[in-house]
Amino acid sequence: MSFFPATLETLIDQFAALPGIGRKSAQRLAFHVLSLPESEALAFADAITAARRTVHCCRICQNLTEGDICPICASDRRDHSTICVVSEPRDVLSIERGHEYNGSYHVLHGALSPMSHVGPEDIRIKELIKRVAEEDVEEVIMATNPDTEGEATAMYISRLLKPFSVKVTRLAYGIPVGSNLEFADDATLNRALEGRTEM
């Protein structure tokens, strides 16, 4: 039995349905929203509606955007002959933060995972193949996560790209900059040794 008003219960349920938010946190968030000035609470509700309604995937690279084509795909300052393939929109942000990469992206929106029933048809692989087939692409950099799903996805896509005359590369493995050898795990250290470069 609940002692909260029904609309408050509904709001708590909504917060509790978000990933990583438990029942107690959901209650805390709902009480916080009720304590906001009405204009701020409505601004929060509007932000959800606006984002869900206007944000969709770029026709070319599948990254999230408000227009038909995202700013990176539309830019003539970017090198569109290089495509960096990532799993999630947030990975684009991570790479852009480095200010090093100047090519375009392709966002898969997931990674192959037989355990979670995610197959090749569930992520944006065919859109990538179409780009490579139709556009003038020279290099595809596989920047999926260095975990089992990311590896499998990179491997699967690189095989699909074999028939095209395109260079397929993978992000380098190694010890993170600024870290300590003592705390590096064995697999990473072995990969760092294998991939050693001449000084």
Interface with its own copies, residue 4, by CB under 8 A: yes
Smallest gap from residue 41 Cβ to its own copies (A): 4
Residues 154-183 that bind its own copies (CB under 8 A): none
- Contact call for residues 54 and 66 (beta carbons, < 8 A): yes
- Contact call for residues 109 and 88 (beta carbons, < 8 A): yes
d(CA 141, CA 95): 12
Interface with its own copies, residue 48, by CB under 8 A: yes
Interface with its own copies, residue 7, by CB under 8 A: yes
Smallest gap from residue 65 Cβ to its own copies (A): 5
Interface with its own copies, residue 8, by CB under 8 A: yes
Residue 64: enclosing H or E segment and its boundaries? Answer: strand 64-65
Q: Residue 193 CA to chain centroid, in angstroms?
A: 29
Q: Which stretch binds its own copies (CB under 8 A): 92-100, 123-131, 147-155, 190-198?
A: 92-100
Instruction: Rank residues 110 and 174 by Cβ distance to its own copies and give the closer one.
Output: 110
Q: From the CB of residue 66, how many other CB atoms can be counted at a distance below 10 Å?
A: 12
Q: Which stretch binds its own copies (CB under 8 A): 87-95, 138-146, 147-155, 173-181?
A: 87-95
Buried b (16+ CB within 10 A) or exposed e, 30-64: beeeeeeeeeeeeeeeeeeeeeeeeeebbebbbbb
SS3 107: strand
User: Which tokens in the block code for residue 20?
Assistant: 């990583």
Smallest gap from residue 156 Cβ to its own copies (A): 23
Interface with its own copies, residue 41, by CB under 8 A: yes
The residue ranges that bind its own copies (CB under 8 A) are 3-8, 10-11, 13-14, 18-21, 25, 27-34, 36, 38, 41-55, 64-66, 71-72, 88-90, 92-93, 96
